[in-house]
């Protein structure tokens, strides 16, 4: 009888505590899941936040990486310059906020009084009269060493970091202004020896720094992107294909040559007519050869 009484009492106790125990277990697992989800969410936020902070670092800031000793021409810090791949054919990269508004305005003021009608390099057999209207902008050339403000030197150094090509391979800046209806028909920045004669050096890449916003028109266009329009009757004037709208302070890098040195046919590009507003751009053409050494060789001949 005693054994039965004990069993009955134990059964009664388990029945009393069964429901509260299940309830407590449910609360425990709910809280554990909520905490785990919150922890995972915050971990992701922390990861994305760290990536964003790395992109925000300026070129003059040191990082916590283990840095190696740099050579005379190297850097003693790690830099990150954000960019977007716009196209693989042609190879075109977009650099948002590459220069500040103050830097852009300084370049414009420096160039404004020195502008002259933009010139066009002629193919064999071409004349200025026959190519009139192809390029209607005005511009001027200035090297970073001639800029007393130092702004162009800062920009030139940043372009060298972005392209991984030394400053010595770059021409002087070509500062250009496009007013309403002014444009530049589609063309190549590299010079085909079959059309222009032998070339001691080639323009392998071009970096465009947009100095102003443009209210309407003025886009940089690539009509042959991914081979489009190459088999049609494209007349080099139509503004079609990949189009990049100028935004103040942003940069555009594209390559005119393949790695083997031949001209990329999809690098054909032009400047659409400005419809409203004014377009200012600073262009840096980058060559296959060290231009300082090349000039020195020419002088020694």
What is the mean pLDDT, run by run of 10 residues, along the chain of 301 residues?
Answer: 49 53 63 58 53 48 71 86 97 98 98 96 89 96 96 97 96 98 98 94 98 98 97 92 98 98 98 98 98 85 69
Does this model's pTM top 0.85? Answer: no
Q: CA distances (Å), 7 to each of 17, 19, 101, 215, 244, in order?
A: 15, 19, 86, 89, 84
Q: Is 138 exposed, middle or buried (0-12, 13-18, 19+ CB in 10 A)?
A: middle
- pLDDT of the residue at 117: 97
Rounded Cα distance between 189 and 248, Å, is 23
- pLDDT of the residue at 227: 96
The size of the chain, in residues, is 301
CA dihedral 74, 80, 84, 88 (to 10 degrees): 30
- pLDDT of the residue at 60: 45
- pLDDT of the residue at 79: 84
Q: Which domains does the chain have, with CATH numbers?
A: 84-300 (2.60.120.620)
Q: Which two tokens stand for residue 186?
A: 């589609």
Q: Which two tokens stand for residue 233?
A: 């009757």
- Is the N-terminal amide bond of 90 cis, ω within 30° of 0? yes
Specify the DSSP class assigned to residue 170: B
């Amino acid at each position: 009888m005693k054994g039965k009484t004990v069993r009955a009492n134990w059964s009664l106790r388990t029945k009393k505590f069964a429901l509260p125990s299940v309830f407590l277990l449910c609360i425990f697992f709910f809280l554990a899941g909520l905490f785990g989800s919150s922890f995972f969410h915050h971990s992701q936020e922390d990861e994305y936040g760290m990536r964003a902070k790395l992109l925000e670092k300026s070129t003059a800031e040191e990082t916590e990486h283990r840095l190696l000793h740099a050579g005379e021409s190297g850097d003693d810090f790690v830099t990150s310059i954000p960019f977007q791949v716009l196209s693989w054919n042609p190879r075109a990269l977009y650099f948002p906020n590459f220069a500040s508004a103050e830097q852009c305005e300084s370049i414009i003021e420096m160039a404004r009084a020195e502008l002259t009608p933009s010139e066009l390099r002629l193919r064999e057999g071409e004349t200025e009269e026959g190519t009139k209207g192809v390029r209607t902008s005005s511009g001027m050339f200035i090297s970073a060493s001639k800029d007393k403000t130092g702004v162009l030197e800062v920009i030139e150094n940043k372009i060298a970091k972005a392209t991984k090509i030394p400053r010595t391979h770059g021409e002087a800046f070509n500062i250009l202004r496009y007013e309403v209806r002014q444009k530049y028909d589609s063309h190549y920045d590299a010079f085909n020896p079959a059309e222009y004669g032998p070339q001691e050096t080639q323009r392998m890449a071009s970096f465009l720094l947009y100095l102003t916003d443009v209210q309407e028109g003025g886009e940089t266009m690539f009509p042959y992107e991914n081979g489009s329009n190459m088999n049609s009757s494209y007349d080099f004037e139509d503004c079609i294909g990949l189009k990049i709208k100028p935004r103040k302070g942003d940069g555009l890098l594209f390559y005119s040559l393949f790695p083997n040195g031949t001209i990329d046919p999809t690098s054909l590009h032009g400047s659409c007519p400005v419809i409203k507003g004014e377009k200012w751009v600073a262009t840096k053409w980058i060559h296959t050869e060290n231009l300082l050494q090349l000039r020195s060789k020419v002088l020694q001949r």
